Amino acid sequence: MQQTVTCGDCGKGQVTSVTGPFEATFREGDYAIADAEYQKCDSCGRVYFTKEQLDCLQKKAAAAARAAQGLLTPQEIKAFRCQYELTQTDLESMLGVSAKSVVRWEKGTVFQNAALDKFLRVLIDNPDLVEELRPSRSKEHPVAKPARKVLPALEHERPPAKVTLGERRELAAAA
């Protein structure tokens, strides 16, 4: 969708897509995203984000924040769950967390807290404990997991307004 847009700020320059380093603030931490995509005015340098670019940057910043905190990644959590054929609901029950918690962690924008992360690591290292905590329903009827519906990757669990991510103006708003 490369289209020519006049900068809403200076009214002179053309706003075009750029890929490059961008510093994003996410949950009070600053993270340098090496390959952020955004829009930039070629005259005044004003930076804009489309909705998609902002979502993408948020995901990258979330991944960087997770890595900085040493938390298990969404992929690691999912791999553990699949290895033991646990549903997301099973794991939520085992951890004693509210419904949809695991769903959100695996989507990546909501983080498990440090205590739960430690608990998950203990489970990963102790198969016997997994079996002990496995919900009985799942013990009695080990069923093949149904094919999962692929959810849109950029669905927000929380409004993006809660995430401080540099300039948040969108092209549509600036036009």
Which residues sit at the interface with Zn ion, rule CB under 5 A? 7, 9-10, 13, 41, 43-44, 46
CB of 34 to Zn ion, least distance (A): 25
Would you say 13 or 160 has its CB closer to Zn ion? 13
Residue linked to tokens 């053309």: 14
Instruction: Choose among 22, 32, 102: nearest CA to 67.
Output: 32
Q: Which residues contact 170 (CB under 8 A, 6 or more apart)?
A: 48, 49, 50, 51, 54
Would you say 11 or 29 has its CB closer to Zn ion? 11
Would you say 44 or 124 has its CB closer to Zn ion? 44
Would you say 121 or 168 has its CB closer to Zn ion? 168
CA 51 – CA 166 distance, rounded (Å): 14
CB of 13 to Zn ion, least distance (A): 4
CA 58 – CA 49 distance, rounded (Å): 11
CB of 17 to Zn ion, least distance (A): 15
Strand positions, DSSP E, 10-125: 14-26, 29-41, 47-48
